[in-house]
């Protein structure tokens, strides 16, 4: 109470300086409050815009197990080409970028987009076909299996590898346009043949033979 009384007496004795001080404090408080409000509104808009952009760019996807190739795996050249096509790899005369593959004599060259050898050229070598000869009886089956896996980085010397991991195949995406959805109607031709066979084997093996 004594301090308040002293302040009042000082203001009464010095009215002009006291008013200037109070006016300055009031203006400073108003400017500080306006700065806080402006900063809050500006940063809120920036954060909302970035979060909205992330929601638009991030597409939920469901992937299967990554494809792994091993030396000696029972896989033909045509089967490897089919799997690369399923993963969205583009066939080129020569491999130049990740996601491309080329077919050579008894070999398939490709550059993975993911995995430990991402961006490096992989050469999968297959056994040469047997010479054509006239013989009675059925022809022997063509040789199968990957005989070699060689990894090349730039102009360096190819290095043999035991296994190479490719991209995981995409099963489905849970967003179309700008809205999320848990399920979507698709044509039967869009679903891979192996997935159809797997679902039928699990759910109903006689689905197509029901009366």
CATH number of the domain bearing residue 154? 3.30.2060.10
Q: How far from 137 is each of 8, 128, 132, 140, CA to CA, in Å?
A: 121, 22, 14, 9
Average pLDDT, the chain: 76
Number of domains in the chain: 3
3-state secondary structure of 103: strand
Q: 109 and 44 in one domain?
A: no
pTM greater than 0.75 (yes/no)? no
The β-bridge relationship of strands 61-63 and 100-104 is: unpaired
Q: 155 and 112 in one domain?
A: yes
Q: 182 and 121 in one domain?
A: no
Assigned domain for 133 exists: no
Q: 184 and 99 in one domain?
A: no
Predicted confidence (pLDDT) at residue 136 exceeds the cutoff of 70: no
Q: 118 and 102 in one domain?
A: yes
17: Cα separation from own chain's centroid: 68
Q: What is the pLDDT of residue 13?
A: 61
What is the span of the domain harbouring residue 52? 29-58
* C-alpha to C-alpha distance for 14 and 63, rounded to whole angstroms: 79
pLDDT digits (tens, 9 = 90+) for 49-90: 766 655 555 566 777 778 888 888 888 888 888 888 888 888
Q: 37 and 97 in one domain?
A: no
Lowest-confidence region among 108-112, 144-148, 157-161, 179-183: 179-183
The β-bridge relationship of strands 100-104 and 90-91 is: parallel
Orientation of helix 2-13 relative to helix 15-57, angle to 10°: 110
């Amino acid at each position: 109470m004594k301090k308040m009384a002293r302040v009042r007496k000082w203001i009464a004795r010095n009215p002009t300086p006291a008013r200037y001080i109070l006016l300055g404090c009031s203006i400073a408080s108003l400017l500080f409050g306006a700065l806080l409000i402006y900063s809050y509104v500006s940063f809120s808009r920036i954060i909302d815009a970035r979060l909205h952009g992330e929601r638009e760019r991030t597409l939920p996807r469901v992937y299967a197990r990554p494809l792994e190739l091993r030396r000696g795996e029972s896989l033909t050249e045509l089967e490897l080409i089919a799997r690369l096509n399923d993963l969205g790899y583009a066939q080129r005369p020569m491999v130049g970028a990740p996601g491309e593959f080329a077919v050579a004599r008894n070999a398939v060259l490709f550059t993975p987009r993911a995995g430990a050898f991402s961006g490096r050229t992989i050469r999968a070598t297959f056994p040469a076909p047997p010479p054509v000869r006239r013989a009675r009886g059925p022809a022997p089956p063509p040789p199968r299996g990957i005989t070699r896996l060689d990894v090349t980085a730039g102009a360096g010397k190819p290095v043999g590898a035991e296994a190479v991991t490719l991209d995981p195949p995409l099963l489905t995406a849970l967003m179309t346009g700008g809205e999320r959805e848990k399920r979507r109607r698709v044509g039967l031709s869009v679903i891979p043949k192996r997935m159809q066979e797997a679902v039928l084997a699990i759910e109903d093996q006689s689905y197509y033979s029901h009366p």
